[in-house]
Amino acid sequence: MIVASTLTTNLSILVLAGFIGFVVISKVPNTLHTPLMSGTNAIHGIVLLGGLLIVGLSGNGTFNKVILVIAIAFGTINVVGGFLVTDRMLEMFKSKPKQGGEDAAGKGEHDGKGTGS
Amino acid sequence: MNGLPLATSFLQNQSFLDVLYIIAFGLFIQGLRGLSGPTTAVRGNRIAAVGMAIAVIATLLNRNEGNWGLIALGIAIGTAVGVPAARQVKMTAMPQMVALFNGVGGGAVFLISWSEFRRYGSTYGSHFVQVNSAFSAVNFHVGGVPTYVAIFSVFAAIVGSVSFWGSNIAFGKLQEIIPGRPISFGSAQQIVNLVLLILALAAGVDLVAGAHSELLFIGMLVCAALLGNAVVLPIGGADMPVVISMLNAFTGLSAAATGIALNNPALIVAGMIVGASGSILTNLMATAMNRSIPAIVAGGFGGGGAVEGASGAGEHAGTVRSTTAADAAIQLAYANRVVIVPGYGMAVAQAQHAVRELTKELEKRQVEVSYAIHPVAGRMPGHMNVLLAEADVPYDQLKEMDDANPEFGRTDVSLVIGANDVTNPAAKNNPSSPIYGMPILEVSNSHSVIVIKRSMNPGFAGIENELYYEPETTMLFGDAKAAVSEITAELAQL
């Protein structure tokens, strides 16, 4: 098995991700910038994973555990709150067909809950 | 915890988990692509949310040990706080909510770095001599931490802390807990910032070099925290969206750094994409306001006081004509084309629904109505669109600046509601004005202009608006919502 250097592999991923970020984002129209900021904001809540990974490792004293629980809580707020708020913002851009549209939106909210929890 | 039903050997297979991560960030990218159009944006956001759920599940599967209680506790607290906050926040308060969510993200980053430092204890950063061998993956063993891990971890701690405190200040300013006006040490500000930055970096370098003092780590966090405060406090309210966007990018970068320190590709990809997008967005916003990012960071409109006098002084020759709701209603009723220019004043007065009612009343009279949206109307690019969409304004009535400007020439009445600086002709005509060069909505080209405004106070930038003194302009003083409702009522009686 070929073992690539962890650091260089990760740096490659970093650089490529940066370019993807530039390309994907630069196409977004002005109007959607606030939802976009909110959406990307939710995505960096992925630091939550860091907390999840570390909290189970050995060598964590009580104080560390407290720190990590706070970190996990912060990360969760970032993720859950971020996606929900973005969803609320975007829901308003939907063209609303008078009757059926509201039902669909209601269902959508339930779906949102399902994926969130 | 091998006893868990889900934790079979297959599910814990590293390649399988890696595949889950790859799916997750594929979904992030796809989701962000979806956000590029109003019709696909909702789906895009949900796709990204699904990606996040997959990434979280993969991470939970990856764990070998217990502490499920702590994880459940953290997630429960986060959900209990985050869900109601996101559901109940008013659309006008959206920018500060984004700032707050961004802040807690930064908070999570620096807390994780801190706990990593504590966990590694004396092995943290002690392998300075191993810089070269750090390039081999096998180095991650016998408790020693490769230097690069310490470097990225320290970077994440500093940036995360700056982002956390900076975002909280931004929240405080937008929520008006802290005065929106610049607060600074004056000319010493930049020196203070620089000293704090150097102190934080010095502590960081020392830690990487193998100083095992936790006090030093805390000191570094404190310096970064003070830096976050010191950078954002002097920035005026008008520049706040740019700052939030910048801090958003910072948090993204710090998450990517955490990803490298923890060797987690999902963190690296997601964090870096946010870092890249946040930088672009920051730049776009700054361009729209004709502000350079270094100038904003160096002290906002701090110098505005002096310039304000200079630009305002010569322009008081004209007089301001005020009008009544009844007159405004008549003017609007007999127009063929009306353009509504909404600004932050409309947002704070929660007048978007009243404005929509007015539009409906005008449309009944065959008046063509559209909305001209300045890129930075409201408090963030696109914020105004969100508010108007909330009031059921059709998407195709919203015109962006470049489409709206050529139309003002054949517009009978421009109705400016709570917008100020974005309509100021000084940005075109007066090279000495601090906003000179900022793209504006050329309202003054229309046949007549009605400005609804609370008082003659200058806008965020603290600059007189020449528009108000022009002969075709009339002012309707009052609260935006009350004034608009009054016009609608008068219109209904015509």
- Per-residue confidence at A68, pLDDT binned at 50, 70, 90? very high
For residue A63, being part of any structural domain is answered with: yes
Interface of B with A in 430-489 (CB under 8 A): none
Q: Which two structure tokens, joined as six digits, stand for B404?
A: 């709206």
| pLDDT above 50: residue B127 | no
pLDDT one-digit tens code per residue, B428-455: 888 777 777 778 888 888 888 999 888 7
Domain assignment present for residue B40? The answer is yes
Give which of B77, B104, B284, B398 to mutate to test A binding, by max A Cβ within 10 Å: B104
Best CA proximity match to B452, nearest among B408, B490, B484:
B484
Higher pLDDT, B183 or B316: B183
- Tell me which residue range forms the domain holding B274: 93-297
**pLDDT for position B11:** 64
Looking at residue B153, its pLDDT comes to: 92
Number of domains into which chain B is organized: 3
Residue ending a domain, among B88, B106, B136, is: B88
pTM for the model stands at 0.75
Rounded-to-integer distance, Cα B170 and Cα B101, Å: 11
pLDDT higher than 80, residue B354:
yes
Instruction: Determine the pLDDT at residue A116.
Output: 38
Predicted confidence at residue B112, as pLDDT, reads 94
Average pLDDT, chain B: 81
pLDDT at site A61: 82
Of A41, A7, A25, A14, the C-alpha closest to B272 is: A14
Distance of alpha carbon B217 from alpha carbon B306, whole angstroms = 42
For residues B84 and B97, membership in a common domain is answered with no
Same domain flag for B435 and B483: yes
Judge contact between B449 and B416, C-beta under 8 A.
yes
Residues B246, B322 within the same domain: no
**In this complex, which of B63, B79, B136 lies closest to A80 when CB atoms are compared?**
B79
* B137 and B81 both lie in a single domain: no
pLDDT of the residue at B154:
93
Overall average pLDDT of the B176-189 stretch: 74
CATH code, domain carrying B488: 3.40.50.1220
User: What pairing do the DSSP bridges indicate for beta strands B368-373 and B413-417?
Assistant: unpaired
Which of B59, B88, B117 is a domain's end point? B88
Residue A110 lies in a domain: yes
pLDDT of residue B459: 61
% of chain B exceeding 70 in pLDDT: 83
Whether A25 is covered by a domain: the verdict is no
Q: Are B347 and B408 members of one domain?
A: yes
CB pair distance less than 8 Å for B65 and A81: no
CB nearest to A14's CB, from B118, B272, B373: B272
Q: Which residues pair with B413 in a beta bridge?
A: B338, B448
The listed range with the strongest mean pLDDT (A4-8, B45-49, B426-430) is B45-49
User: Of the given ranges (B137-146, B205-214, B312-321), which has the lowest mean pLDDT?
Assistant: B137-146
Residue of B nearest to A55 (CA): B67
pLDDT (tens digit per residue) in A5-46? 788 899 999 999 999 888 887 766 767 778 888 899 999 999
| CA-based nearest residue in chain A for residue B278 | A37
pLDDT computed for residue A110 by the predictor: 40
Q: Provide the residue type at B250 as one letter.
A: F
Distance CA A50, CA B262 (A): 7
Highest mean pLDDT among B44-58, B224-238, B412-426, B441-455: B44-58
Is residue B154 within 8 Å of residue B113, measured between CB atoms?
yes
Q: Within a 13 Å sphere around the CA of B167, how many CA atoms are in the beta-carbon half?
A: 29
Do B36 and B127 lie in one domain? The reply is no
Pair B106, B154 in one domain: yes
pLDDT-derived band at B123 (thresholds 50, 70, 90) equals low
Contact B98 A90 (CB under 8 A): no
Any domain includes B482: yes
Q: Clarify whether residues B407 and B448 are in a common domain.
A: yes
CB neighbours of B257 closer than 8 A, spacing ≥ 6?
B152, B153, B155, B156, B159, B271
When scoring B21, B45, B127 by the number of chain A Cβ atoms within 10 A, the one with the most, hence best to mutate, is B45
Q: Which residue range is the domain that position A55 belongs to?
A: 30-116
Quick check: is A9 in a domain? Answer: no
Query: What pLDDT, on a 0 to 100 scale, did the predictor assign at position B78?
Result: 94
Higher pLDDT, B135 or B93: B93
Please name the member of A65, A68, A90 whose beta carbon is closest to the beta carbon of B42.
A90
Report pLDDT for B322. 83
Residue B310 has pLDDT above 60, yes or no: no
Q: How close A55 gets to chain B, by Cα (Å)?
A: 7
Please check whether residue B278 touches A, CB under 8 A: yes
Among B121-135, B141-155, B207-221, the range scoring the smallest mean pLDDT is B121-135
The pLDDT tens digits for B74-119 are: 999 999 999 999 998 887 788 889 999 999 999 999 999 999 888 8
Choose the final residue of a domain: B55, B88, B121. Answer: B88
Judge whether B5 lies within some domain. Answer: yes
Q: How many CB atoms lie within 10 A of CB B300?
A: 25
Mean pLDDT (whole number) for B406-420: 88
Residues B249, B129 within the same domain? yes
How many structural domains is chain A composed of? Answer: 1
**Domain assignment of residue A10, yes or no:** no
Same domain, B198 and B282: yes
Strand order in the sheet with B473-477: B398-400, B368-373, B337-342, B413-417, B448-453, B473-477
Q: Identify the top-confidence range among B34-43, B351-360, B377-386.
A: B351-360
Bridge partners for B369 per DSSP: B338
The percent of residues above 90 in pLDDT, for chain B, comes to 29
Nearest chain A CA: its distance from B71 CA (Å): 7
